[in-house]
Amino acid sequence: MKDILNFIDGAYCEGSIGRWFDDIDPCTGQAHARISEAGSDDVNRAVSAARNALSGPWSQMPQAARSAMIRAVAEEIDNRFNAFLEAEVADTGKPHSLASVVDIPRGAANFRIFADIIANLSEHAFPMDTPDGGRALNYTSRRPKGVVAVISPWNLPLLLMTWKVAPALACGNAVVAKPSEETPATCALLGDVMNSVGIPPGVFNVVHGFGPGSAGEALTKHPGVDAITFTGETRTGEAIMKAAAAGTRDISSELGGKNAALVFADCDIDAAVEGTVRSTFTNCGQVCLCTERVYVERPIFNAFVDRLKAEAEKLHPGAPTDAKTGIGPLISAEHRDKVTGYFERARAAGATVVTGGDVPVIDGDLANGFWVRPTIWTGLAEDSPLVKEEIFGPVCHIAPFDSEEEALHLANDTDYGLAATLWTRDLSRTHRIAPRLEAGIVWVNTWNLRDLRTPFGGSKQSGIGREGGAYSLEFYSELSNICIKM
């Protein structure tokens, strides 16, 4: 069994508290590695290493040189593609067909895009008249924020970690990363990548462990951390905001969702069914952007439900390496029990189970994996907790609507505001509805398509701030105005 170690000041190390925990393969329920937990002394050491690195050559490095180094990280991830793929799949159980085209390439792409952005950075200038009849020139200038703590979840481990590490480093910060305790393997591999491309020791550090009472809490409460960027559950985001309040540290948070799809009768139904299958069941429903509420205009409601059911039933669970595998497992036994708890609550609430709502029986090595069947419900009340709470599994509730206004009301009637999807061929309707959807991202006739230069984030309880492309610079750098009297 492999050991997964912390990475501090350029070297892999065991945590000083001598505690280890298992890294479980969700396909088998068996440990595939053990993880060394970081204690508060280790977190102190990681934060000190990061602070020291800031006074070294790293933050003074010319932008072009830093950009070249960030680009080299992307190339090195490409070079080690198979090692990253193997680690990600062992931690998450997701099919190779998904991880090899989404998670690992995007992990590298995140470094590439921020290498480009920092290389092409421009500043603003504001020449002005002065009261004495002279002139002055104002210009903006960015400097690193300092030590940035990056805390990430388990659903897209490499993708979401690099989505924050890359802009943080591109802006000249030093990072202490805390990956999810469920999926630390790819983040651990990044340490060696950083060393191999010459990122100075201390610029990138990794501490492993849990949230409360462990590395996560120690890191977010550490006064040596200047800013915290977090992706995860809304309730965790609240706890981290409280920690960030001490010392008024900046925070960026990407949180939960309860995303709606609106399917109008004039849509291309083939595309809408295919897109909704993806938006509901991709990664076993464990994507913050997944659709859990589908509203369909009444004339096509029955046909849409039948077709979605038929497609959902084609998604067979199986081994990640099997090309026929259509859906992987949930991340853990605990999460499987949470999702199956919703199955029971849906039945008790009188839902019609269109398909799924149970656990498939699988023999052999996969018998103890955390599998659930893709599940579709109809007939729940709009105020049911199943329609309000983020379930984060391969589930959706489908309900009919009769008018645009009703559809908009249903989509927006949620505490969350991350993503929404619209299926229609009517361009005027698209322009009427899309800007009124209370979501950080609205897809029309597609799902999960992203240009990495665009802003990303949530409204309401789905998060604070926008990251992505040059928008990330707002969080990862400190902007000053310099005013020169001429």
Contact between residue 467 and residue 252 where contact means Cβ atoms under 8 Å apart: yes
Length of the chain, please?
486
Closest by Cα among 423, 200, 165 to 294: 423
Q: Which of residues 67, 100, 180, 375 is near ligand NAD by CB under 6 A?
A: 180
Which positions ≥6 away from 20 have C-beta within 8 Å? 34, 35, 36, 37
Is residue 178 a contact residue for ligand NAD (CB under 6 A)? yes
**φ/ψ bin of 445: left (φ > 0), alpha (ψ from -120 to 50), beta (otherwise):** left
Q: Is 279 a binder of ligand NAD (CB under 6 A)?
A: no
d(CA 423, CA 261): 8
Q: In the complex, what is the shortest distance from the CB of residue 67 to ligand NAD, in angstroms, rounded to a whole number? A: 25
- Residues 304 and 309: their CA atoms lie apart, in Å, by 8
Active site residue 254: yes
DSSP 158-188: HHHHHHHHHHHHHTT-EEEEE--TT--HHHH
- Residue the block writes with tokens 């950083």: 194
Q: Total binding residues for ligand NAD by CB under 6 A?
A: 32
Instruction: Tell me the closest approach of the beta carbon of residue 369 to ligand NAD, in angstroms.
Output: 18
Q: Is 288 in the site for ligand NAD (CB under 6 A)?
A: yes
The reply to whether 216 sits near ligand NAD by the rule CB under 6 A is yes
Using CB under 6 A, which of the segments 106-114, 117-125, 205-213, 423-431 binds ligand NAD?
Answer: 205-213
- The residues that bridge with 229 in the sheet, in sequence order, are 150, 252
Q: Is 249 in the site for ligand NAD (CB under 6 A)?
A: no
145 vs 222, beta carbon nearer ligand NAD: 222
We find the least distance from the C-beta atom of residue 152 to ligand NAD, in angstroms, to be 6
Q: Are 433 and 405 in contact (CB under 8 A)?
A: no
For β-strands 291-297 and 259-263, DSSP reports them as: parallel
Q: Is 390 in the site for ligand NAD (CB under 6 A)?
A: yes
Judged by CB under 6 A, the stretch of 21-29, 90-98, 316-324, 456-464 that binds ligand NAD is 456-464
- Contact between 418 and ligand NAD per CB under 6 A: yes
Catalytic position from the list 27, 267, 284, 288: 288
Residue from the set 7, 111, 114, 154 that interacts with ligand NAD by CB under 6 A: 154
- Kindly identify the residues of this chain, within the stretch 219-248, that bind ligand NAD according to CB under 6 A: 220, 231-233, 236, 239-240
21 binds ligand NAD (CB under 6 A): no
Pairing of strands 30-36, 20-25: antiparallel
**Catalytic residue list contains 390:** no
> Does residue number 91 form part of the binding site for ligand NAD (CB under 6 A)?
no
- Cβ nearer to ligand NAD, comparing 144 with 232: 232
Query: Toward ligand NAD, which CB reaches closer, 23 or 311?
Result: 23
Rounded alpha-carbon distances, angstroms, from residue 413 to 65, 118, 437, 438:
48, 39, 10, 9
Give the Å distances, CA to CA, from 67 to 141, 147, 472. 18, 19, 15
Q: Are strands 227-231 and 147-151 parallel, antiparallel or unpaired?
A: parallel
Does 211 sit near ligand NAD (CB under 6 A)?
Answer: yes
Task: With residue 260 as reference, give the H or E element that holds it.
Answer: strand 259-263
Among 8, 151, 251, 284, binds ligand NAD (CB under 6 A): 151
The catalytic residue positions are 254, 288
Which residues contact ligand NAD (rule: CB under 6 A)? Answer: 151-155, 160, 178, 180-181, 210-212, 216-217, 220, 231-233, 236, 239-240, 254-257, 288, 390, 392, 418, 458, 462-463
